[in-house]
Amino acid sequence: MIFNAVEIMTPILLAALGGLFAELAGVLNIALEGLILAGAFAGILAGAASGSLVVGMLAGALAGGLLAAVFTFFSIRLRANIFITGLAVNLLAAGSIPFISTWMFGTKGVLRFPDLPRLPRLLEGVTSGVGFIDSLLFGHSATVYLAWLLVPLALVALYRTPFGLRLRAVGAREESVIIAGVDAVAYRRIAVLISGVAAGLAGAAISLRLGVYLPNISAGRGWIALVAIYLGYRHPIGILIAALLFGFTESLAGAAQGLLAIPGTVLLGLPYAITVVAMITYSALRARGLRRRRFIDAHF
């Protein structure tokens, strides 16, 4: 169950980490769903054409980045409403991919690539002697380790570099940053591009693992990634925990179907119920923290 949870969380973690950059820069990237779709499509096409999974992942990242550039053009350059632009990007991806697919392959349905290499599993056979640790860390798809790796990278980039400091400042106090001579717009663009690249990687991770592309392959993971950003206190470590929570609850719901006599449809609601509880708990804790801070500010 833990093993499956880690595999399930991977695309959510990738997309959410990227989305965090945009979020901290003051842009709510609701186009993540469409960016994942674009990455999944481009990733598997390039992977199948080149016979290389690395090329597939890079193509997924590139496609996500390009679509994110479209998003920045309209939302940041032309100052279009960010929600409408994000939704438009989602619709653009969902609508244009079947068109391209029909043009290239004569179908807008399932695209199979039987000769595509399988995603390698790393650290297979390695054991710590503790089942939980083994399931968490060893024998997973290569993309799982990529996602693990991006957590400390995001942490360092956001909290240990001048770039990260400025990017967070753009999101927190844009006026102060502009007075200090920082190009806030450029930082926002870069942040959205990073989120596009990460979402593209998430999409490629999904399609390359399956070896197929099919409509709606993202299946709402972009939206879940957005929730994970907030659930994770807008921090890479928090996002990792939130993504793991999503993965674990989904894995638990799947496994419970085989163990309990409760109807599967009821158990399928479990991840969402846990998400609601987690969000309420998060809001309550945050409100309590804010109240405490205000009290300290007022009295000391």
* Complex with other proteins: residue 196 or 211, whichever CB lies closer: 211
* Complex with other proteins: residue 80 or 165, whichever CB lies closer: 80
Token pair 């163990």: residue? 259
* Complex with other proteins: residue 156 or 266, whichever CB lies closer: 266
CB 31 to other proteins: min, Å: 20
* Complex with other proteins: residue 44 or 154, whichever CB lies closer: 44
CB 268 to other proteins: min, Å: 4
CB 264 to other proteins: min, Å: 3
CB 221 to other proteins: min, Å: 8
* Complex with other proteins: residue 24 or 205, whichever CB lies closer: 205
CB 219 to other proteins: min, Å: 4
What does the block give as tokens for 279?
């969000």
**Which residues contribute to the site for other proteins (CB under 8 A)?**
1, 4, 7-8, 11, 102, 107-110, 112, 114, 118, 178, 183-185, 206, 209-212, 214-217, 219, 221, 250-251, 254-255, 257-258, 263-265, 268
User: Residue 139 class from Cβ within 10 Å (0-12 exposed, 13-18 middle, 19+ buried)?
Assistant: middle
